A and B are shown apart, each in its own frame.
Chain A
Amino acid sequence: NAGVTQTPKFQVLKTGQSMTLQCAQDMNHNSMYWYRQDPGMGLRLIYYSASEGTTDKGEVPNGYNVSRLNKREFSLRLESAAPSQTSVYFCASSLDRAITGELFFGEGSRLTVL
């Protein structure tokens, strides 16, 4: 019963390096999301995909790009990592755009940018 799977779980980057966080869900959900979690700031939405083939910016999209590869997969890319992007990243999914509030989260990916 996998749910939402994120990889990698931990990553250390140097400033300027690039990387992609991968996310896959096996619940046949239409909508997927990327959040970042920072101490004292809760969760902030980076990007979301309401349905396959669409993506939209959230609160804090600068420095990130996303790809909704298919219905199952939604990746987050950092083209040129900065120390301000040190955070824990969560992927989530929901059945559809008019969500009832139940987001299903992955276990998180802890990223450190030196």
Chain B
Amino acid sequence: GDSVTQMEGPVTLSEEAFLTINCTYTATGYPSLFWYVQYPGEGLQLLLKATKADDKGSNKGFEATYRKETTSFHLEKGSVQVSDSAVYFCAFYSSASKIIFGSGTRLSIRP
């Protein structure tokens, strides 16, 4: 069935380090792919998305490229900040109004 696999956290980095959070998916066809972010005490919010193969989504310095061949959508940022500390969810649009979410990766950035 449809599923998302994310790298397990927590991930702890120093400020200005390079970030990669891996995400792979199992789905029928080529669904739209998303990264959501959840800051402490808040609901999730859409960070970026890509709707077709080879598309690159970007926002707030984060990027992710839709890789059809490897069914992946890895999240990257060149230089993280303390304010990026949050939980990140990879997701895709499945059928029947469902978005399938991964289990989330907690990111902590040290000053």
- Which residues in A have some Cβ–Cβ distance to B below 8 Å? 4, 31, 33, 35, 40-45, 48, 50, 56, 58-59, 90, 92, 97, 99-108
Q: Which residues of B contact A56 (CB under 8 A)?
A: 96-97
A90–B43 CB distance below 8 A: yes
Q: A4-B43, A42-B89, A43-B89 are in contact. Are A103 and B32 (CB under 8 A)?
A: no
Q: How far is the CB of B57 from chain A (nearest CB, A)?
A: 10
Interface string of B4-43 (1 = CB under 8 A from A): 1000000000000000000000000000101010000111
Q: Does B62 make an interface contact (CB < 8 A)?
A: no
Decide: A42 and B99 in contact? CB cutoff 8 A: no
**Is B82 an interface residue, CB under 8 A from the partner?**
no
Which residues from chain B contact A42 at a C-beta distance below 8 Å? 4, 89, 101-104
User: Are B49 and A101 touching (Cβ within 8 A)?
Assistant: yes
Bound together, the chains give a CA A90 to CA B45 distance in angstroms of: 12
Q: Please judge, given known A-B contacts A58-B98, A101-B34, whether A43 and B43 are in contact too, CB under 8 Å.
A: no
Q: Is A102 a contact of B103 with CB atoms below 8 Å?
A: no
Contact assessment for A100 and B44 in the assembled complex, using a CB-CB cutoff below 8 Å: no
A101 to B89, CA, bound (A): 13
Closest residue of chain A to B43 (Cβ to Cβ) is A105
B interface residue count range (under 10 / 10 to 19 / 20 to 34 / 35 or more) = 20 to 34
Residues of B within 8 A of A (CB): 4, 32, 34, 36, 41-46, 49, 51, 89, 91, 93, 96-99, 101-104
Q: How far is the CA of A36 from the CA of B34 in the complex (A)?
A: 19
Whether B46 lies near A103 (C-beta < 8 A) is yes
Give the nearest-CB partner of A4 in chain B.
Answer: B43
Least Cβ–Cβ distance between B36 and chain A, in angstroms: 8
Contact of B97 (CB < 8 Å), options: A31, A35, A90, A105: A31
- Which of B4, B44, B102 is the one whose CB lies under 8 Å from A103? B44
Measured in the bound complex, the distance between the Cα atoms of B44 and A69 in whole Å is: 24
Which residues on the A side are within 8 Å of B93 (C-beta)? Answer: 99, 101
Q: How many Å lie between the Cα of A2 and that of B44 in the bound state?
A: 15
- Cα(A13)–Cα(B58), bound, Å: 42
| Pairwise interchain contact A48-B97, C-beta atoms closer than 8 A | yes
